[in-house]
Structure 1
């Protein structure tokens, strides 16, 4: 038997089937929009800690995704874990999810949520591009580079503008920055591992279920060690279910489905929509002011994402080579 390995162009429309690529990009944007609601929703969980929130999200989300895969893609799930070639990628992706969650929240505690968010989310697309280049899976185009640079700049202005307009003060602590970069790298590793498995032909539901179920295991001790009394309240339980089932279960299933027609490099850039949604929700629901600098960043971020997902003029191609399986 043989498999096809692809060198994929990292642009806004890389698939030979443009409709599928656009649908994948739209799904990833919806996923990022769901993730953007987590910060606002978390503010209503009185007594919660970042560690308990992160852990319960992955635990409930992992169980949700695994149950979905087992109910609808049992054969695909069985085939995924039975193929020994997949096991290193599954272990790498699951470990990256756990590291991403932990490193980000520790970084946010050390250097502030705003700086931690900028460094983590902004570095993830860059790391994904570098991983793709190193693995010779991706050809980075000027369009991707322009859109990514604009989106990262817009994200920085959006989050940093809140500080300039009177938001919380933060310190640029080297250890915190290093942890935020680690979180960005971990997210890039997860996205790349999932993309490789899905483009290899594995079912996206099976991949998402296996990765997040495995990632939930090391986070159980984190949940047990963190203050979790808020989960015993009615509102706390509802918030945990929303964060786990909707933002994680549904969100990452949409992300995995989007990877069928969207390369990981483009996908991670599209996830920069997350802070934009968070900013809008903060303005509408929490009466947070959005200053001029932040508003400009939001506009730049939105424009960059439009550039990334808008159909390209020329036909896009994949270059395939056959290798022994």
Structure 2
């Protein structure tokens, strides 16, 4: 029998998933210039490629020891979870790419990930009855302050353009992220379904790919033949690391970590994207960007410490109750 996932490992999974997501923007930037793929087609290939890789992973796992969870959703609860996650994932991804197209990468990313913790915190308080607490509120405010510094600091090449239409798409993307975060946390309380993270991720991306296929076909589904090998390599990376692996880690970690904490940890994404731009793309790190990234990291660290303390306290209370019951 496998051991339940600890809060510490859940935090690590969320940190790794957020860091992997930060590389997706760089991969997309490489593809937009030469592949001829638009945002909808790129999201479709990301979802379809991730689904194919997850199918292979599940097929390999079924050859292993017995007792693995089934890859088929056998209960109404499991099917509903997959539908909600798939719809939320589609909204999150496509609205984000539209936000980047409408108001630029910097503003689109900052607004999306800045609004997400606020929406998740409000939703967790109203729907899940999760107490935010003074430490959690301070961490959320600190994260938003860091994002504000990043936004006001602009880009190294000049002023950042903020357009209302793009901001509206970014807020819609944040709503999609809040949906899958809150629902994932809520559905983890139920034992029915017994679908694991790989299965949840697979079916969610299958829903996303099916929904986007007609729109991707209308936009232009196939990449340019020139530089096709490079395009396929980048698409493979996009499907494997920030999609199949990143979301599998995310759907695993969110089941044991508070929803608000999961949302703020996702703010690592713009930090990792900034670090990647500096180290590999030759962009210069401005003082505002460095300061905003530092505040974000401090906020995430504070939330991680708070989450660990809460988990230790909760585990201690459970052990004490078991000792009392055993007497």
For normalisation by structure 1, the TM-score amounts to 0.83
Q: How big is the shift at 1:281?
A: 0.9
Q: How big is the shift at 1:160?
A: 3.9
More helix by percentage:
2
Corresponding residue number in structure 2 for 1:57: 46
| CA gap 1:87/1:187 in 2 versus in 1, 3 angstroms | same
1:21 has 2:14 as partner: no
| CA gap 1:75/1:281 in 2 versus in 1, 3 angstroms | closer
Corresponding residue number in structure 2 for 1:32: 18
Bigger Cα displacement from structure 2, 225-234 vs 123-132 = 225-234
Aligned-residue Cα RMSD (Å) equals 2.5
- Indicate the SS of the match to 2:309: coil
Corresponding residue number in structure 1 for 2:65: none
Corresponding residue number in structure 2 for 1:274: 269
Corresponding residue number in structure 2 for 1:76: 70
Corresponding residue number in structure 2 for 1:130: 122
Corresponding residue number in structure 1 for 2:161: 170
C-alpha distance in 1, partners of 2:239/2:139?
31
| CA gap 1:230/1:255 in 2 versus in 1, 3 angstroms | farther
C-alpha distance in 2, partners of 1:294/1:190?
29
Kindly tell me the number of residue pairs found equivalent between the two proteins.
299
Corresponding residue number in structure 1 for 2:185: 195
Matching residue within 147, 150, 155 for 2:147 = 155
Corresponding residue number in structure 1 for 2:325: none
Q: How big is the shift at 1:293?
A: 1.0
1:146 has 2:141 as partner: no
Corresponding residue number in structure 1 for 2:290: 295
Matching residue within 221, 243, 249 for 2:214 = 221
Residues 124-169 of structure 1 deviation map (CA, whole Å, 9 limit, x = unaligned): 1111122222223422222222112212221332344233x44354
Q: How big is the shift at 1:109?
A: 2.0
C-alpha distance in 2, partners of 1:151/1:131?
18
User: Is contact 2:17-2:242 (8 Å) kept?
Assistant: yes
Bigger Cα displacement from structure 2, 191-200 vs 102-111 = 191-200
Q: How big is the shift at 1:71?
A: 4.8
| CA gap 1:32/1:230 in 2 versus in 1, 3 angstroms | farther
For normalisation by structure 2, the TM-score amounts to 0.82
Q: How big is the shift at 1:34?
A: 0.8
| CA gap 1:109/1:306 in 2 versus in 1, 3 angstroms | same
C-alpha distance in 2, partners of 1:130/1:70?
39
Pairing 1:227-306 to 2, within 5 Å after superposition: 227=220, 228-230=222-224, 233-306=228-301
Gap regions ≥5 residues in structure 2: 63-67, 319-327
| CA gap 1:290/1:162 in 2 versus in 1, 3 angstroms | farther
- Indicate the SS of the match to 1:138: coil
C-alpha distance in 1, partners of 2:224/2:302?
42
C-alpha distance in 1, partners of 2:60/2:202?
11
Matching residue within 38, 41, 59 for 2:27 = 41
Bigger Cα displacement from structure 2, 45-54 vs 253-262 = 45-54
More strand by percentage:
1
Q: How big is the shift at 1:230?
A: 4.0
Corresponding residue number in structure 1 for 2:197: 204
C-alpha distance in 2, partners of 1:83/1:64?
24
Bigger Cα displacement from structure 2, 111-120 vs 234-243 = 111-120
Q: How big is the shift at 1:65?
A: 2.9
User: Is contact 1:115-1:160 (8 Å) kept?
Assistant: no
- Indicate the SS of the match to 1:200: coil
User: Is contact 1:158-1:276 (8 Å) kept?
Assistant: no
C-alpha distance in 2, partners of 1:104/1:214?
18
| CA gap 1:69/1:137 in 2 versus in 1, 3 angstroms | farther
